[in-house]
Structure 1
Amino acid sequence: MHASDPTFPLYPVLAFLAVVVSFIPFPWHFRARNIGTCSYMLSTGLYSLVEFINSIIWLDNVNNIAPVWCDISAQVIIGASVGITTSTLAISRQLYNISTMNGHSMTPQEKRRDTMVNAVIAFGIPLLVMALHFVVQPRRFDIFEEIGCQPATFNTVAAYILYFMWPVLIGLCSFVYSVFTLRNFYNHRVEFAKVASNNSSMSPSRYIRLMLLVFVDMFCNTPIGLFAIIVATRAAVLPFSALSETVDFTNVQLVPASVWKAERLSHAAVEINHWVPVFCSFVFFVFFGFAEEAKKNYRKAYDCLRKLFGCGGSRGGSNVSKPR
């Protein structure tokens, strides 16, 4: 098999590792009801998984050999790409709320309400965008050689309102929350220390790491969203009425690598979207994969694996803390 991508298999290897580092911490974040981080891991993990599979199947061809998979993966790409930014918004909102507590903890009712709002932001908005995309979808999907299945979008003004604007709009909302959070954090450092001391799931170290994650994601994905809009507007923006003349959900557009790589900006846009989930997964791992709570859970996972494979009685397990 000849691959036109000279870097192969670099991408699928890194994409697979991105899936692993996204999903390994998920159980303990889920138990802690960290909606924003759970949504972030799901978005980056599922997105990376789809891109990993696609990069292998369509390494050197544009054959429509898995149409049902393409139907599913195109929707995952839409939802997950927006989900990364909405996860960041949910995290920045959570951090802002903590910064305004002035030394007080949330009541159980406030915690439930806050969890519900964050869930709507993190999961509801991506589902909404997936539904809105159908309005500006001209065909079933596209297949890019080396990249795989991608959602198809009709280039009309409605597409910018219903689909393209979301990463930029959500990024701006995260930016506003982050500015006020930094201000509150600076003005109420002592009060924040009191809240952190009463909240085992939000230590000062974890708070700062979440802030860094928000800033890195915000200053990467928001410009990427703007870049996608700029690239799209370079082509002819057609009236929405033309969609009824071109829509055909039996049609699949096949794009060889020589075509999508021919124009510099289009090439950059495709490659950037291809690498975004992998980059975001590793950013999360850098901030949280080496934290003390992560190391404890790695040891627990290691102990479970040793017991599963019958190695639990080895002498090396004597230093492992006894179960409570």
Structure 2
Amino acid sequence: MILNVQNFINAVIWPSDNLDNYWDGRILCDVEAKLSIGLSMSVTGAIVSILRQTTIILNIDNVTLSPTSRQRMFKIAFEGTVCVLVPTIMMAVHYVVQSERYWILPVTGCTAAFDNNWVTAILMFTPPMLLCIPGSVYCIIVIWRIVKQKKEIASAIAFPGASSASRARFTRLSNLALVLFWLYLPLALYNFLQSCFPGRYHPFSWSFIHPPDWKDSIYKISGAPAITLDRWVQIGVGYMCFTFFGPGTETIEACKSWVKRVRLGLQEMIPSGVRRES
């Protein structure tokens, strides 16, 4: 949601190819460039975490109604690492290979800048690829258990106290994670292999990447594609999330509740005399 809000704002601020006539994006693009790196990694971490938890729930040979304290701590540590710690570190170390403050592209707007060297490949493109390795294992296990144990899975997800809505949410969430993983895996693999191509490299040099006038190095790239591949992926993921969860009963009820609250709030703002006359 945050990434797509950024995409909407950027498209409004930089709607055409003639970037020289538009704002240079100071402060806003500094924040957006870092967030795009951290949130993209967080999405991958969240998908892998969901797949991992799904494999545990579908392990009908070792069903645990109440996880031990050690299992809970490991779950918190794993999810905190891949969803928070690693993305935060990547946002911080991005400065090491940040050749310019940021780039501005038509419609796409604020974009994180990278220098083409081997350090960039290690710091920026290797972590998502490494995280996809356990993600691939979890994904294969989930698919295997769903195919081989359909009847047993129905009882496995019917854990005590769970309503039909909870089970439906679990099913939708698991299916969404599987679909997203097969979307993010090729993207991570593509970025990693592209970054490893030797012809793209030049030797790492801190003085070259961070010259004295670095803080003023803002590039407006007018000839770039209107919307880059990663932004299309973010837009597509937004539609997929709505497809899986938007039509759900709990979502519809939540929307009705919000409309009711807004209506009550508007009524309270109208003076009582005006309400009686109307």
Write out per-residue CA displacement over residues 166-199 of structure 1, whole angstroms, 9 at most, x where no aligned residue.
3333233222112122334434843661452315
Pair 1:105-2:59 in alignment: no
Q: Contact 2:115–2:209 (CA<8 Å) still a contact in 1?
A: no
- CA RMSD for the aligned pairs? 2.7
Higher mean C-alpha deviation, range 154-163 or range 109-118: 109-118
Pair 1:272-2:234 in alignment: no
Instruction: Provide the C-alpha distance between the structure 1 equivalents of 2:198 and 2:81, rounded to a whole number of angstroms.
Output: 34
| Matched AA of 1:196 | A
Match for residue 228 of structure 1?
Answer: 191
Match for residue 193 of structure 1?
Answer: 155
SS of the residue 1:309 aligns to: helix
Write out per-residue CA displacement over residues 96-148 of structure 1, whole angstroms, 9 at most, x where no aligned residue.
22123644312473446524532332222211211222221122111223221
Pair 1:307-2:269 in alignment: no
Q: Contact 1:64–1:143 (CA<8 Å) still a contact in 2?
A: no
Match for residue 21 of structure 1?
Answer: none
Q: 2:15 aligns with which of 59, 66, 70?
A: 59
Match for residue 87 of structure 1?
Answer: 46
Higher relative contact order, chain-length normalized (CA < 8 Å, sep 6+): 2
| Matched AA of 1:272 | L
Match for residue 103 of structure 2?
Answer: 142
Structure with higher Rg: it is 2
Q: Contact 2:157–2:167 (CA<8 Å) still a contact in 1?
A: no
Instruction: Provide the C-alpha distance between the structure 1 equivalents of 2:74 and 2:262, rounded to a whole number of angstroms.
Output: 37
| Matched AA of 2:222 | A
Instruction: Provide the C-alpha distance between the structure 2 equivalents of 1:134 and 1:161, rounded to a whole number of angstroms.
Output: 14
Instruction: Provide the C-alpha distance between the structure 2 equivalents of 1:224 and 1:48, rounded to a whole number of angstroms.
Output: 18
Q: Contact 2:48–2:135 (CA<8 Å) still a contact in 1?
A: yes
Match for residue 220 of structure 2?
Answer: 255
Deviation of 1:251 (Å): 3.7
| Matched AA of 2:141 | F
Match for residue 264 of structure 1?
Answer: none
| Matched AA of 1:49 | V
5+ long unaligned stretches in structure 1: 1-44, 262-266, 312-324
Match for residue 48 of structure 1?
Answer: 4
5+ long unaligned stretches in structure 2: 269-278
Q: Contact 1:167–1:221 (CA<8 Å) still a contact in 2?
A: no
After superposition, the Cα gap between the structure-2 partners of 1:203 and 1:131, relative to the gap in structure 1 and judged at 3 Å, is same
After superposition, the Cα gap between the structure-2 partners of 1:227 and 1:257, relative to the gap in structure 1 and judged at 3 Å, is farther
Higher mean C-alpha deviation, range 282-291 or range 92-101: 92-101
Q: Percent identity?
A: 22
Count how many residue pairs are aligned between Structure 1 and Structure 2: 258
Instruction: Provide the C-alpha distance between the structure 2 equivalents of 1:58 and 1:230, rounded to a whole number of angstroms.
Output: 31
After superposition, the Cα gap between the structure-2 partners of 1:99 and 1:55, relative to the gap in structure 1 and judged at 3 Å, is same
Match for residue 117 of structure 1?
Answer: 78
